[in-house]
Amino acid sequence: MLIIKPNPLKWVLLTGAWGLAAHLGLAFPNGKETFERSFDMVWNTVTEAFWDENFNGVDWERVGDRYKGELGQVKDRKDLVVLLQSMLDELGQSHFKILNASAEPLFGASRGGYTGISLKYTPHGAYVVRIEPGSVAHKEGIQVGWKLKSVNGKSTKRIIQSILRAEIPEKRKLFLIQVNLGVRINGSAGKQLRTDWYPSLGGKEKIYLTPARDERERSEPIGFLSEQKLEYEETYLRDRVLYLRFNYFMPALMQKIRLAIEAAEGRAEGLILDLRGNFGGLTIMGTGIAGLLIEEATPLGKMTMRKGLVNYRGYPQEKRFTGPVAILIDSCTISTAEMFAAGLQEAGRARLFGEVSQGDSLPSLLKKLPSGDVLQYALGDFTTPKGNRIEKNGVIPDVLVDADPEALAAGLDLPLQSAMEWLGIMPSLEDDGGT
Amino acid sequence: MRVKRIIGHGIGALILPLWVAVLSAEDSGEGPPGERAAVEEIIEQYIASQGGRERMKSLRRVELEGRMALKSQGLIIEVRQRLESPDKVFVTMEFPGLGTVREIINGNRGWEWHPLTGTRSLEEREVKDHLRDADLQRDLRLFEVYEQIRLAEPEEIEGHMTRHLVLLDREGKEEHWYFKENGDLFQQVRDVPVGPGGEVAIRQRHYDFTTVEGFRFPKVVRIHNPAFEAEITITRCQINPEFDPAIFQIPPSGL
């Protein structure tokens, strides 16, 4: 019979995504009926799609009854999001989320500003690890290694403590602190921020910053996965090692990454992929980048669904880089970034440096709810080629380099230095604070 | 099963062993004598509903255009599929925000290009699945293609009483096909390959049948798996168009 085969499905399933935000409509009906339909859609989707028919030991039926009983108390869309998210949290898995920035107070929404500061959180405080050249922070003289004291009078300590007190998994807290501080330090475009610092050499410094409009490149929306602000850095360290840093696995970056890696063959002695703070993206892009680094078809993991199995495999591309590969990861390396790093590590193709990754690693799809919010749901469980589960466990680097406040204050990037030493190049002074 | 229904109607205990023997034959794949005839009748009706055996024999090439919508995901994928019997396929799929994916099958070789993953040769099983589509006379040879075709209990689906066949392929995988009274294939339940070594179970239902140059086919196909749903709508169909042979040539990178 003449039928277009369901071939595109394979790409949708292989693609899988993890995004911070989804497209939210401008006006959606509020009201009891909408809340009930949204609730039912969330509960039914999980009931049908969760890969384990026993819901990993959670009595999902009972959970549904309990939260349905609380639906009558929901007054507005924000209440609904909190209720639905609480219900999803009972599953104890990542990638079951209601995406609506306004209803995620811990998470914080981007306010549209950009100062060019990247912070790294440690239990001893948040330190500047990168200053974008030419940015507001660069012009105001903020330096790598400085420790943030407060933003607009709100102390970093208080922000951190409020998140640490929340009833969420420990590793998730680190991620939320990182994101929350990032949002605060970037502020709103044109709206002056008062920042207080402990500079590396002692003393206190008060600096007023007027954030620029955040005009970083954005990815194109894909379905309900909204555009993401992209960061991409490409440089040669000591003119011998290609260093690539990017914050998402999104199509807009693929061509740059491909060209950089292809050009590195014959020129670079090694490659460092910096996936610290990489929030993931399209799973299939991980297999695409892997294809630029491997000599033969290489499994990167598999997704087991309730009724199906999807393999992620990298295929060697004609132009590829054959030298050694180091990957930097940290507690904010998430999802596709974790799958990619673990796959290449298990294949023996890359050596990993840094911290244990976040452990949020399930391929997911997005579904719009009648309320206008978006449900993100994992459609399968993910395991590495050797059968390890990244979810909750994270990826364990070959060389564990935990964040060291003293080193950060001194502007040193120890994971990068370790990778450089492994690749046989001694870090130079300008490499120490990142690139 | 028909056999079980007869037993249920109260045939005497003396003839029971005879029916047990028939059941055994059915389980071994032989099927009772009447069953083969019933299966043949359903398949003949299915072929007739598509335009008839002779018309289907004249089908050499097809071009289909349409879109696959994952409505709940907000994704619409434009698909163009060119098929030349028995073994050539050229498919393009445009994904919003991602680009165009291309797949070519020529004989026993397959190749794909994806904006994110680059090029690769398709694996044997993936090629085989594509060839299923390229073989435009496949429905005329179902008894050759499948190891066994059995009649199963009729089922009511969306208010239609359907006749149900179970088809066992040569690798031991079962498919379930459900036909309406007029011979239209209304529902198929089977596993479809997904990328290298993967597969998902899908249920697909066919709606809004239309006729182009005497060939009848569904314009709308709804696909269901516990984790997702999709709808394919065919917007254009050309029967036996001329194709540039170059479109089926696998690029050197895929050799």
Q: In chain B, what is the straight-line distance between the N-terminal and C-terminal CA atoms, in Å? A: 50
Domain assignments of chain B as residue spans, ordered by start: 32-254
Q: Which pLDDT band, with edges at 50, 70 and 90, does B29 fall under?
A: very low
Q: Is the pLDDT of residue B14 over 50?
A: no
Q: Which pLDDT band, with edges at 50, 70 and 90, does A110 fall under?
A: low
Q: Is the pLDDT of residue B253 over 90?
A: no
Residue B107 vs residues A307, A351, B3, B157: alpha-carbon distances, Å: 30, 41, 43, 38
pLDDT (average), residues B89-117: 93
- Which one of B77, B205, B228, B236 makes the best mutation probe of the A interface by having the most chain A beta carbons within 10 Å? B228
Scanning every residue of chain B, which has its alpha carbon at the shortest distance from the alpha carbon of A372? B72
Residue B212 buriedness (CB in 10 A; 0-12 / 13-18 / 19+): middle
Tokens (6 digits) for A322: 């054959």
Q: Which pLDDT band, with edges at 50, 70 and 90, does A21 fall under?
A: very low
Q: Which pLDDT band, with edges at 50, 70 and 90, does A171 fall under?
A: confident
Q: Is the pLDDT of residue B54 over 90?
A: yes
Please give the Cα distance from B72 to A161 (Å, whole number).
38
CB A326 within 8 A of CB A353: yes
More confident residue, A196 or B23: A196
CB A314 within 8 A of CB A300: yes
* pLDDT number for residue B193: 86
Q: Which pLDDT band, with edges at 50, 70 and 90, does B7 fall under?
A: very low
Overall fold of domain A11-103: Transcription Regulator spoIIAA (3.30.750)
Delimit the CATH 2.30.42.10 region(s) of chain A: 113-213
Average of per-residue pLDDT values in chain A: 88
Q: Is the pLDDT of residue B43 over 80?
A: yes
Query: Residue B75: its chain A contacts at CB < 8 A?
Result: 12, 222-223
- For residue A176, what are the contacts with CB-CB under 8 A and spacing of at least 6? A106, A107, A163, A166, A168
* pLDDT number for residue A29: 62
More confident residue, B196 or A59: A59
Q: Is the pLDDT of residue A103 over 80?
A: no
A232-363+380-431: CATH number = 3.90.226.10
pLDDT (average), residues B47-75: 92
Considering the four listed CATH numbers 3.30.420.40, 1.20.58.100, 3.60.20.10, 2.50.20.10, the one that applies to the domain covering B32-254 is 2.50.20.10
pLDDT in tens, A211-260: 999 888 888 888 777 778 899 999 999 999 999 999 999 999 999 999 99
Q: Which pLDDT band, with edges at 50, 70 and 90, does B31 fall under?
A: low
Q: Which of B233, B225, B180 is nearest to B201 (CA)?
A: B225
Q: Which pLDDT band, with edges at 50, 70 and 90, does A123 fall under?
A: confident
Scanning every residue of chain B, which has its alpha carbon at the shortest distance from the alpha carbon of A310? B198
* pLDDT number for residue A352: 98
- Phi, psi values for residue B24, rounded to 5°: -60, -45
pLDDT (average), residues B99-120: 93
Identify the residue whose tokens are 């500061």.
A117
* pLDDT number for residue B20: 37
Please give the Cα distance from A140 to A193 (Å, whole number).
12
pLDDT in tens, B202-222: 999 999 999 999 999 999 999
Query: Residue A365: its chain B contacts at CB < 8 A?
Result: 70, 73, 227-228
Q: Is the pLDDT of residue A285 over 60?
A: yes
Query: Residue A48: its chain B contacts at CB < 8 A?
Result: 226-227
Scanning every residue of chain A, which has its alpha carbon at the shortest distance from the alpha carbon of B238? A2
Q: Which of A420, A412, A411, A422 is nearest to A238 (CA)?
A: A420
* pLDDT number for residue A223: 79
Q: Is the pLDDT of residue A172 over 80?
A: no
Q: Which of A191, A106, A203, A96 is nearest to A147 (CA)?
A: A203
ipTM above 0.85, yes or no: no
CB A88 within 8 A of CB A98: yes
CB B183 within 8 A of CB B31: no
Q: Which of A108, A106, A98, A46 is nearest to A77 (CA)?
A: A98
Please give the Cα distance from B21 to B10 (Å, whole number).
17
Strongest mean pLDDT among A17-21, A38-42, A215-219, A367-371? A38-42
Task: Name the DSSP class of A211.
Answer: P
pLDDT in tens, B144-199: 999 999 999 999 999 999 999 999 999 999 999 999 999 999 999 999 888 888 88
Q: Which pLDDT band, with edges at 50, 70 and 90, does A28 fall under?
A: low
Q: Which of A27, A46, A33 is nearest to A372 (CA)?
A: A27
* pLDDT number for residue B17: 36
Q: Is the pLDDT of residue A55 over 90?
A: yes
- Which one of B72, B89, B139, B141 makes the best mutation probe of the A interface by having the most chain A beta carbons within 10 Å? B72
- Single-letter residue type at B86: P
CATH architecture of A113-213: Roll (2.30)
More confident residue, B250 or A430: B250
pLDDT in tens, A301-360: 999 998 889 899 999 999 999 999 999 999 999 989 999 999 999 999 999 999 999 998
In DSSP terms, A274 is beta-bridged to A245, A328
Cβ contact, residue pair A2, B91, below 8 Å? no
**Strand A212-213 to strand A270-274: parallel, antiparallel, or no bridges (unpaired)?**
unpaired
Please give the Cα distance from A326 to A323 (Å, whole number).
10
Q: Is the pLDDT of residue A11 over 80?
A: no
Q: Which of A183, A250, A277, A225 is nearest to A21 (CA)?
A: A225
Tokens (6 digits) for A297: 């078809």
Q: Is the pLDDT of residue A4 over 90?
A: no
Compare CB distances from B64 to A4, A9, A220 and report the shortest one's residue: A4
Q: Which pLDDT band, with edges at 50, 70 and 90, does B94 fall under?
A: very high
